């Protein structure tokens, strides 16, 4: 019985599954897109949950991005006292982060105009 199972081919080609992960889809966001989304969400200061829901990220993804963005100086974390005297952590976009958003928007504008430009 074990020999017959080993000889059977899988119902789908294995190599095609690997190739799917290498394709770039316009429906998926790149890391740069996600970073820009996070920086825009935290522009005026935002809690983790607000950023997580607005950017449609899991908590694990959000934590990794926030750690990276704070380390790079694009975000800063601010400890704030709430009405219940608890410390609340807010994240706010820095000047460097705002410059990133501006550059990102400029690049997107170039891509959109060049993408829809008729060929010569």
Instruction: Report residue 72's pLDDT band, with 50, 70 and 90 as the boundaries.
Output: very high
Strands 46-47 and 75-81: unpaired
What confidence score (pLDDT) does residue 96 get?
97
Q: Which fold has domain 30-111?
A: Arc Repressor Mutant, subunit A (1.10.10)
81 Cβ contact list (under 8 Å, min separation 6)? 87, 88
Going from N- to C-terminal start, the domains of the chain cover: 30-111
Q: If residue 21 lies in a helix (H) or strand (E), which one and from where to where?
A: helix 14-22
pTM score > 0.85 for this model? no
Q: Residue 112 in contact with residue 44, Cβ under 8 Å?
A: no
Task: Express each pLDDT in 74-110 by its tens digit.
Answer: 999 998 777 776 778 899 999 999 999 999 999 988 8
Give the residue among 108, 91, 93 at the shortest CA–CA distance from 29. Answer: 108
What confidence score (pLDDT) does residue 120 get?
56
What confidence score (pLDDT) does residue 88 get?
82
Q: pLDDT at residue 9 above 60?
A: no
What confidence score (pLDDT) does residue 119 get?
54
90/38 Cα distance (integer angstroms)? 13
What confidence score (pLDDT) does residue 12 get?
46
What confidence score (pLDDT) does residue 48 get?
94
Task: Express each pLDDT in 19-61 by its tens digit.
Answer: 444 445 456 889 999 999 999 999 999 999 999 999 999 999 9
């Amino acid at each position: 019985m074990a020999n017959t199972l080993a000889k059977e081919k899988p119902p789908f080609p294995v190599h095609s599954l690997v190739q799917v992960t290498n394709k770039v889809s316009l429906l998926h966001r790149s890391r740069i897109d996600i970073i820009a989304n996070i920086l825009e969400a935290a522009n005026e200061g935002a809690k983790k949950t607000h950023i997580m829901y607005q950017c449609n990220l899991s908590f694990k993804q959000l934590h990794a991005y926030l750690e990276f963005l704070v380390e790079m100086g694009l975000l800063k974390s601010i400890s704030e006292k709430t009405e219940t005297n608890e410390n609340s952590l807010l994240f706010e976009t820095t000047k460097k982060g705002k410059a990133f958003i501006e550059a990102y928007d400029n690049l997107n504008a170039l891509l959109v105009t060049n993408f829809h430009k008729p060929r010569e």
